[in-house]
Amino acid sequence: MKILLLIASCVCLLAASAAAAAEPSIVEGAKKEGALVFYTTMDIQNSKPLLDAFMAKYPFVKGDLVRLGGTAMVSRILTEAQAGANRFDVAVGISPSYMPMRERNLIAPYKSPEFANLYDDTHDPQGYWSTVYLNTLVLGYNTKAIAKNDLPKVYDDLLKPQFKQKFIIDIENHDVFVALSQEWGQEKAVAYFRGIAKQEPVFLRGNTNRANMVSAGERALTFVYSQVIERMKQTGAPVDWIPLEPVAVEVNPAMISAKAAHPNAARLFVDYLLSKDGQEFLKTFRRIGPRKDVKPDPPKLFEGFRRRVVAPENYKNLRELTKIHNDALGIR
C-alpha cells in the first residue's frame, strides 16, 4: 500500500511539474507568434480594456479585437470556416454559440492549468470550453410592491393567484427553463412554464430593461441577473432579489480555434482570462467569475444557494428547445 501511495504521489508531482513547465513554453511560442485575434460578444467597454490589460502583461502579443453580437459572431465564424479563412484564435460568447462550432470541429481542447482554481461546473472536463464570467438568474422584485414576508419561497409559489399580472419574463433567455428541465425533467418544466403563462406575464428582452420596469413599479417580479438588481439597489432603487433554488447560472465560454493561426497566444490569453489577475480585472466591471479565490462583490451573488449551471452542451438542439419554450409560454 505504501509503495502504491508513493507511486501515486510521484505521478501527481510529475503532472504538477508538467503543468508548471507548460506556461514558459506557451509564453515562448506566443512571443514567436506575436499576435492574437479575439472574437467576443462582450461589450466593448469591457472587452477592449480586458485585451489591453493582457497586452500590457504580455507586450510581445498584439491583440486584434472583433466585437459582435451572439448570432453575428457564430455566423461570421461559420462563414469564415466555409471559406477556409478561420481567422479567430479565441472566441468568448454566449452558450448557444458553442454547439454550432463544436459540431463542425472548429474548437480545440485546452486544459488550462487555471482549471484547478475554478469551480468544477464552470468548465468542460475535456477542455473545449471554460466560462470567463457567468450570470446568476435570481428573482428580482420591487420592495414597495411586495413585502419580504410575502415573497415566493420556491418556484411554484409564483403560480399563486396573488402574483397574477405581476411578472416579467425574458422572451429569449432560456436558461431558467433549461435549468428547471435538468432539475425536474422537461415535462414538469413545460407544465410549470404553462402555469407562468396563465399568470399573464409581460414578455420583455434585456436584463436592464426588465430591472428598470420592476424598479418603476410597472411589474413587481422578474427573473434577472443578480448583479443588475444589486447595482440598482446600491444606488437607492426600490429593488432587491432572492435566490429561488436551484438558481439558473448562465455561462459565457471561452473557446480556442482548432485552426488558430496563433495557438500559443490563444492558450496564453485563455490562461490570463482565467487567472487571478484576469478575474480580478473583470471583477472591476462587476462581472461574476468562476474562480474560487476571486469572490464577486458582494460574495452572495454566487454563494449561499444551490445552483444549476446551464452548460453550453444543453443548447445542442436550440431550434427545438426554443419551440418548446415558446409553446409553453404561448409565444408565437
| Strand boundaries in the chain, DSSP class E | 35-40, 62-67, 90-92, 107-108, 130-142, 167-169, 202-203, 221-225, 239-242, 247-257, 307-310
With bands split at pLDDT 50, 70 and 90, how would you rate the model's confidence at 115?
A: very high
Instruction: Supply the pLDDT for residue 19.
Output: 36
- Residue 291 DSSP code: B
Instruction: With a cut of 90, say whether residue 173 has pLDDT above it.
Output: no
Region 215-228: mean pLDDT is 96
Q: Is the dihedral of CA 227, 230, 232, 235 positive or negative?
A: negative
Region 307-325: mean pLDDT is 93
DSSP three-state, residue 137? strand
With bands split at pLDDT 50, 70 and 90, how would you rate the model's confidence at 7?
A: very low
- Number of residues in the chain: 332
Amino acid letter at 124? D
Average pLDDT along the chain:
91
What DSSP line would sit under 161-230, residue for residue? GGGTT-EEE-SS--HHHHHHHHHH-HHHHHHHHHHHHHT-PEE---HHHHHHHHHTTSSSEEEEEHHHHH
More confident residue, 293 or 70: 293
User: Please, what are the domains in the chain?
Assistant: 2-133+252-295 (3.40.190.10), 135-249+317-329 (3.40.190.10)
CA distance 228 to 214: 12
C-alpha cell, 191? 407544465
Region 220-242: mean pLDDT is 96
Tens-place pLDDT, residues 245-299: 999 999 999 999 999 999 999 999 999 999 999 999 999 999 999 999 999 999 9
Instruction: With a cut of 90, say whether residue 14 has pLDDT above it.
Output: no
The pTM for the full model equals 0.89
With bands split at pLDDT 50, 70 and 90, how would you rate the model's confidence at 69?
A: confident
Instruction: With a cut of 80, say whether residue 8 has pLDDT above it.
Output: no
Instruction: With a cut of 90, say whether residue 312 has pLDDT above it.
Output: yes
With bands split at pLDDT 50, 70 and 90, how would you rate the model's confidence at 331?
A: confident
With bands split at pLDDT 50, 70 and 90, how would you rate the model's confidence at 204?
A: very high
Instruction: With a cut of 90, say whether residue 31 has pLDDT above it.
Output: yes
Counts of helices then strands in the chain (DSSP H, E): 11, 11
- Residue 305 DSSP code: S
Instruction: Supply the pLDDT for residue 18.
Output: 34
Instruction: With a cut of 50, say whether residue 4 has pLDDT above it.
Output: no
Q: Are 37 and 89 in contact (CB under 8 A)?
A: yes
C-alpha cell, 53? 490589460
Instruction: Supply the pLDDT for residue 15.
Output: 35
Instruction: Supply the pLDDT for residue 306.
Output: 97
Instruction: Supply the pLDDT for residue 9.
Output: 41
Instruction: Supply the pLDDT for residue 22.
Output: 42
Q: What percent of the chain has pLDDT over 70?
A: 93
Instruction: Supply the pLDDT for residue 156.
Output: 97
CA distance 327 to 70: 23
Tens-place pLDDT, residues 35-61: 999 999 999 999 999 999 999 999 999
Tens-place pLDDT, residues 143-170: 999 999 999 999 999 999 999 999 999 9
